[in-house]
Structure 1
Amino acid sequence: MSDQQIHTENLFKIFGADASDHSPPARTFKRYFPNSLTVLRMGLAFAFPAMPQDWWLWVLAVAALTEWLDGALSRLWSVESQFGRMLDPVADKLFIVAMLFTFVWQGWLSLPILGLIALRDVTVAVACIFILLFGDRSELKRMGPRIVGKLTTALQFAFLLTLLIWREVPTWLTVLTIAFSAVAAVDYIQFYSRHIRGNPAPTNTETND
């Protein structure tokens, strides 16, 4: 068990959660619950623009909580899956973009700032569409979350929370979020070029000597 798993398990023990229950119902629950949190976040993204403004802060809090909880539980219960690793960043991007466009519609945010804040998300979305149309779709399965991408997501959530509460964001936070979004976009492109496109996945074909 990794140090991160031990830390997470100790944290959940504080609240009385038992991570050692291996009964069939518990195994089924542990397998599907983290991904269900990710799906919930995607549902919140689609519903966010139609929700009353009084709900927005609570919805953002729930989305941020599920963003942390699904990954923490997956590691704690050792149920990480390729599907979950692909779905989690998609849910994050959907929710963030939904909030950004909603705030533009409200007049709280300009389109140029939206484009810069979401530069990482737009880059990844365009790359995924390109791969689906013209590339090898198996490459998408090899694109996992990146550290700089996770930091960008955290800054985006902080940016959105600040904007939601005070209707404006300090210049330093805006610049920092844009900078990380740009760095994350470049990082994804470089990683794809060097480690995915440059190193094709091995095939299962066998040759007879």
Structure 2
Amino acid sequence: MLKRRTGRSGSTAVTDLSSHSIRGVVEQEIPWRVWTVPNALSLLRLLGIPLYLWLLLSHHDVWAFWVLVVSSFTDWADGKIARRYNLTSRVGQLLDPLADRLYIIATIVGLAIRSIIPWWLVVLLLAREVFVFSFGPSLRAHRLPIPAVHFSGKAATLCLVVGFPLVLLGATDLPFATLANWVGWGFVWWGTALYWFAGFLYAIQIRRMIAAVS
């Protein structure tokens, strides 16, 4: 579809709004860069998942807590570095949320196995992941990229990656365990609500993207 646009000089320009041009612009905006510092941090976060699970299931709770803290720091750092030094890449857009989701899944499953959190909370959070991933076939069918992470999704992830380590500390014999447990659950409830809210926003965003190229 062609749309005519009149400039300040009175000349008329023609803008291509076809589905092919929209896909082309989207695909060309973000490069496929693999070897970047943000991607390395995301990979480091992925490699820390089995270490965290081993520590948690071996009842080394304090060490497991620190692994989660380091993971949370790398999650913040990779985005900060990518934006600061213009190192955003499509690989990073795939790798970063993948690392976040796998860490959250590993965290909640491990905590549930230890009976620190209820299994219904695990089901609630995993159901959100299934809901989001269910849009994958539609994106592939229309050759559309994965949408950028919404602010509410980042806020939800932040709440969860702060809350669950505190809940883990609440299960220890440390003097401040009770306080950590209360604060941790506060973050977890807010994070869970925002997680689902972000999922619905994601669905709306995908629907609009599909409508734009249909």
TM-score by length of 2: 0.69
Q: Which residue of 1 aligns with 2:199?
A: 185
CA distance in 2, matches of 1:138, 1:94: 25
Q: Which runs of 5+ in 1 are unaligned?
A: 1-29, 202-209
Structure with the largest fraction of strand = 2
CA deviation digits over 1:126-180, x for unaligned, max 9? 333x448xx42732x2411111100110111122122111134556444322221
RMSD value over aligned CA atoms? 2.4
Match of 1:37 in 2: 41
Instruction: Provide the C-alpha distance between the structure 2 equivalents of 1:175 and 1:64, rounded to a whole number of angstroms.
Output: 18
**Percent sequence identity over aligned pairs:** 23
Which of residues 152, 156, 166 is equivalent to 1:148? 152
Deviation at 1:65, TM superposition (A): 0.7
Which one has a bigger Cα radius of gyration?
Answer: 2
Residue 113 of structure 1: aligned partner: 121
Q: SS state of the match for residue 169, structure 2?
A: helix
* Structure 1 residue 31, shift from structure 2 partner: 5.3
Alignment partner of 1:138 out of 121, 138, 143 = 143
Q: CA deviation at 1:192?
A: 0.8
Superposed displacement of residue 49, structure 1? 1.5
Q: State yes or no: 1:83 paired with 2:96.
A: no
* Count of aligned positions: 167
Separation (CA, whole Å) in 2 of partners of 1:47 and 1:156: 19
Normalised TM-score (structure 1):
0.71
Q: Distance in 1 between matches of 2:128 and 2:41?
A: 23
Match of 1:63 in 2: 71
Shift of 1:41: 0.7
Instruction: Tell me the residue number matched to 1:93.
Output: 101
